[in-house]
């Protein structure tokens, strides 16, 4: 563990990514304490609407007179809540299915593997939009829609890794020594593919943040006036080009989040998985 932290600190990409990611998380958690106008998620001052950035409103105000700076920071909570839940359920659903499908070689695993392949052939975003719409716009339906549509990514990677792991000598010998399937899976295979799962999960945080913002942008996320980055960007379209500041902060916030995940994910892959190290 300590050596891992050391390598992260030494690895510039990973470090930058980790710092960005921690920043977003820290800001999201501390949001109500640090924003200048915490009530701006709900209460409005329409006499101050569409003002350009100033010392009072760092990123300007929106169409309801809300402080965009405050709303972007409060929006980080929305994004984080959605992302964390979706990624967690993706791991909880996808990893066991991938392990079982990969370890066994029978009808059940064939069906699971085939099912995963089929689900991956369905355009995720359309499926997610359709599910969100039929459930009605709320944070809950976004979480459900993305959890249902994104877990196959984990399942596939775990499936592939498990399959190749089954041909490793130490796994074959464990099986030959009569270890139970559960023992082999959890004591021999899982620890060895954990690094792939961690790397995949890190990048998935970024992808999920993207997907949830996309739903918000299309008008399917949490309803207004919830501070949600995608919706804020969509709202700004009616007020361009005059209100150029409107979409700036939410877009940059999303960029920093995804950037953090990509960089940290890249770095982790280099550190944890020297086999596939791709030129530093």
Query: Which residues contribute to the site for other proteins (CB under 8 A)?
Result: 42-44, 46-47, 49-50, 63-65, 114-115, 117-119, 121-127, 129-131, 133-134, 136-137, 206, 210, 213-214, 217-219, 223-225, 230, 233-242, 244, 247, 250-251, 254-255, 258-259, 262-263, 266, 278-280
| Contact by Cβ (8 Å): 53, 60 | yes
Nearest CB to other proteins, comparing residues 183 and 277: 277
The Cα-based distances of 129 to 27, 150, 152, 218, 278 in angstroms read 29, 13, 17, 9, 35
Shortest Å, Cβ 208 to other proteins: 13
44, 66 Cβ separation under 8 angstroms: yes
Beta carbon of residue 81, minimum distance to other proteins (angstroms, whole number): 18
- Beta carbon nearer to other proteins, 186 or 244: 244
Give whichever of 188 and 269 is closer to other proteins, judged by the CB atom: 269
Structure tokens at 253: 């916030």
Nearest approach in angstroms of CB 276 to other proteins is 10
Least CB distance from residue 14 to other proteins, whole Å? 13
Contact criterion met (CB below 8 Å) for 245 and 6: no
The helix/strand/coil state of 38 is helix
Could you give the CA distance from residue 265 to residue 200 in angstroms, rounded to a whole number?
7
Q: Which is nearer to other proteins, 51 or 190 (CB)?
A: 51
Nearer to other proteins by Cβ, of 157 and 234: the residue is 234
For the chain, where are the alpha helices, taking DSSP H only? Answer: 2-10, 12-34, 68-103, 107-121, 124-135, 139-166, 169-176, 181-183, 190-217, 229-236, 248-272
CB of 74 to other proteins, least distance (A): 15
């Amino acid at each position: 563990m300590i050596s891992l932290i050391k390598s992260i600190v030494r690895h510039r990409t990973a470090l930058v990514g980790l710092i960005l990611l921690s920043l977003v998380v820290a800001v999201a958690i501390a949001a109500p304490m640090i924003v200048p106008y915490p009530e701006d998620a709900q209460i409005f001052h329409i006499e101050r609407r569409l003002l350009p950035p100033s010392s009072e409103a760092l990123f300007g105000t929106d169409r309801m007179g809300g402080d965009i700076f405050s709303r972007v920071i409060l929006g980080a909570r929305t994004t984080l809540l959605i992302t964390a839940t979706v990624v967690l359920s993706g791991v909880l659903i996808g990893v066991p299915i991938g392990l079982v499908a990969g370890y066994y070689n029978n009808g059940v695993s064939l069906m699971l593997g085939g099912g995963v392949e089929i689900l991956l052939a369905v355009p995720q975003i359309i499926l997610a939009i359709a599910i969100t719409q039929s459930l009605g716009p709320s944070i809950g339906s976004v979480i459900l829609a993305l959890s249902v549509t994104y877990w196959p990514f984990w399942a596939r990677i775990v499936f592939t890794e498990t399959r190749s792991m089954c041909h490793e000598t130490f796994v074959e010998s464990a099986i030959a020594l009569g270890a139970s399937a559960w023992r082999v899976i959890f004591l021999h295979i899982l620890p060895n593919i954990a690094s792939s799962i961690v790397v995949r999960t890190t990048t998935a945080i970024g992808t999920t943040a993207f997907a949830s913002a996309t739903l918000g942008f299309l008008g399917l996320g949490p309803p207004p006036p919830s501070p949600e980055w995608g919706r804020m960007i969509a709202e700004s379209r009616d007020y361009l080009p005059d209100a150029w500041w409107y979409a700036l902060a939410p877009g940059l916030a999303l960029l920093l989040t995804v950037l953090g995940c990509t960089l940290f994910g890249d770095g982790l892959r280099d550190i944890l998985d020297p086999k596939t190290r791709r030129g530093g």
